[in-house]
Amino acid sequence: MGDTSYDIVADTTAGRVGGVNSAGVHVFRGVPYGAPTGGERRFKAPTPPDAWDGVRDATNYGPTAPQIGHAEMGGSTPTDPAAIERMKAFGDFLHGLSGDEPEQSEDCLVLNVWTPSLVPDTSRAVLVWIHGGGFETGSGSWTMYEGTPLAQRGDAVVVTINHRLGVLGFMHLDDIAGPDYAGSGNAGMLDIVLALHWVRDNIANFGGDPSKVLVFGGSGGASKTSTLLAMPSAKGLFQRGALLSGPYVKARSAATATAITEQFLNIAGVGKNEIGRLHDMPVAALLAAAKELAMPIDAGLASSASPEAFMPLQPVLDGAVITHHPLDPMCAPHGTGVAMMVGSTKDDMKMMMLGMPWFGVLDDAGLQQMVQGMFGDLTEEALAAYRQSYPDFTPTQIAAQLVTDRVMWHGSIDWCERKGAAGGAPTYAYRFDYETTALGGILGATHGGDIPFALANWMLHPMAGDRPENAAVSKTVSEAFVRFAHTGNPNHPGLPEWRPYTTDDRCTMVLNVESATVSDPMARLRALWSARSV
């Protein structure tokens, strides 16, 4: 601190920060929005950062939240040579999306800002990106979330954040350890709210308008965005939200969360009257115990789409931090005034299925079993509908489509309908059909495939592949997100008319090289998913 050699310096409520100029954008990395969360602060609600003197270095990304890496999460280990090779290529692909992350630390409440100017400007919207990785992994420093291209537009400020994850961010100790641990099961979400407070109080000093804030994220980041709608403390901190493949509707019950915590304590060898020991345990020991809770997706086909199977630690309906389910039975009252964009990709869950033992070898009998587990009495009708809708698909392809439709496509439709049932601000639905050439094209229009186009950074990482239409698709999609951040309406001259989603119209924007507005796409399949009883 005290060094005045930075390219650019900005004021925050805790002190001054020094950043860099890059490609016409001012970049500030690793800016503290909260105090360290280790030791006695572990599992507790976050607090603002301590003030500092001089200029704090904000030229490098801050620490990554402690977490179990993707490769260590467990799950089915393929034995087929082709599957092993496929998963190795997939691991290399993931590294290309994340880059080399900073070291992990409990001093992880940091954020990053990309802005075209520090001059306050009410015509400059703020896009706050929440990283994916479920509730257990990820970082706002991933290459995939680079904010420079959007900030180069001149009318957008981009913010990415880190927050507590897994056992440190979502272990519900309230009902075991008492009021000193109030909110512990939602500590990671409280971190996000504190970051939004930082945006409200500081973003004008970075050229952004705090009255035009879009919170959005992909996958787990979308689920966290949805959860914010159920938090009284988040109300008013953002005006718009967007979910990119993460239609989270129901938080963990306090009773189930307590049972999971008890399981964790047994694994860690800590008694209910010894909670204080958790503050002194090395982070590695906590993560090792939590790894036993990180249940892999069940290899059984019927349960392969259940989020309960792979997210033991997630937000908790504790009655205080989260007072309602995000969207069960309808949108929580704190979120009805937030305009939303909600979407999925055509082949969303196929990426997740690459390592399943049935991928590539599933036969008709296995497909029948899978459909039976999902549709029960409607099995024959569902099988016929899928075979008619996808006549050239193999059983493996139909199976991957079933998982995609159950979790993401129909999940997004259900989310839109629940939001609409509560009234309030509109919701705009989309489906992203643009396919990537990455990994030889096996992923199709993949999970996360819309992110490089929403953030306009497709040229910086391998997700988009090398299609010649990438730049044009990026211009169309990113313009919709920035317009939505500004006005709550994604329409712009590069798209056909995009109407809000209603049960009368079911308007969906199908984003592709040539985008189209479709009313109730795949209506027969939608009706089947809505009618199923299992």
- Can you tell me which residue has the tokens 């308008």? 209
Write down the pLDDT at residue 166.
96
Q: What is the per-residue pLDDT for 532?
A: 87
* Residue 392 forms part of a structural domain: no
509 belongs to a structural domain: no
Q: Which amino acid is at 101?
A: E
Using the predicted structure, report yes or no on whether residue 97 has a pLDDT greater than 90.
no
Give me the pLDDT at residue 265, please: 97
pLDDT at 101: 84
End-to-end CA gap in the chain: 59
pLDDT at 529 over 60: yes
* Residue 4: predicted pLDDT: 61
Q: How confident is the model at residue 296 (pLDDT cuts 50, 70, 90)?
A: very low
Both tokens of residue 496? 């056909």
Mean pLDDT of 442-464: 96
Q: In the numeric block, which tokens belong to residue 319?
A: 């009655």
Give me the chain's average pLDDT, please.
92
Burial 229-255 (b: 16+ CB within 10 A, else e): bbbebbbebbbbbbbbbbbbbbbbebe
Cβ neighbours for 60, distance < 8 A, ≥ 6 positions apart: 29, 30, 102
- Flag whether 315 is in a domain: yes
Q: Mean of the pLDDT values across residues 183-188?
A: 98
Q: How large a percentage of the chain has pLDDT more than 70?
A: 93
Give the position of tokens 């998913």.
529
For the segment 245-268, what is each residue's pLDDT rounded down to a tens digit?
A: 999 999 999 999 999 999 999 999
Q: Over the stretch 203-249, which tens digit does the pLDDT of each residue have? A: 999 999 999 999 999 999 999 999 999 999 999 999 999 999 999 99
- Where helices occur in 235-280 by DSSP H, the ranges are 254-268
pLDDT at residue number 10: 98
Looking at residue 311, what is its pLDDT? Answer: 82
Strand residues in 189-325 grouped as ranges (E)? 213-218, 240-244, 252-253, 316-317
Q: What share of the chain is helix, strand, coil (3-state, %, to 5)?
A: 40, 15, 45
Q: Is residue 194 part of a domain?
A: yes
| Residue 422 is assigned to a structural domain of this protein | no
For 168, the domain range is 8-363+404-417
Q: Looking at this protein, which amino acid is placed at residue 147?
A: G
pLDDT-derived band at 79 (thresholds 50, 70, 90) equals: low
pLDDT > 70? residue 463 = yes
Q: Is the pLDDT of residue 81 over 80?
A: no
Q: At what angle do helices 523-531 and 410-421 cross, to 10 degrees?
A: 70
pLDDT at residue 195 above 70? yes
Q: Where are the alpha helices (DSSP H) in 342-495?
A: 350-353, 364-375, 379-389, 395-404, 410-421, 451-454, 470-487
Tokens (6 digits) for 477: 């999609």
Place of tokens 């939608």: 526
Residue 186 has pLDDT above 60, yes or no: yes
pLDDT for residue 418 is more than 90: yes
Total of domains in the chain: 1
Any domain includes 37: yes
The pLDDT of residue 139 is 97
390 falls within a domain? no
- Minimal CA–CA distance to 174: which of 164, 187, 157, 163? 187
Summarize pLDDT for 46-70 with one digit per residue, the tens. 999 999 999 999 999 999 999 987 4
pLDDT of res. 3: 56
pLDDT at 534: 52
Burial 60-93 (b: 16+ CB within 10 A, else e): ebbbbbbbbebeebebeebeeeebeebeeebeeb
User: Is pLDDT of 82 > 70?
Assistant: no
Question: Averaged over 135-163, what is the pLDDT?
Answer: 97
CB 498 within 8 A of CB 428: yes
pLDDT exceeds cutoff 70 at 409:
yes
In a domain, 528, yes or no: no
pLDDT at residue 308 is higher than 70: no
Residue-wise pLDDT for 5-50, tens only, equals: 899 999 999 999 999 999 999 999 999 999 999 999 999 999 999 9
pLDDT at 91: 79
Predicted local distance difference test score (pLDDT) of residue 98? 82
Planar angle of CA 296, 416, 428, nearest 5 degrees: 115
Q: What is the pLDDT, as a whole number, of residue 1?
A: 60
Q: Which amino acid is at 480?
A: A
Domain harbouring 167, CATH code: 3.40.50.1820
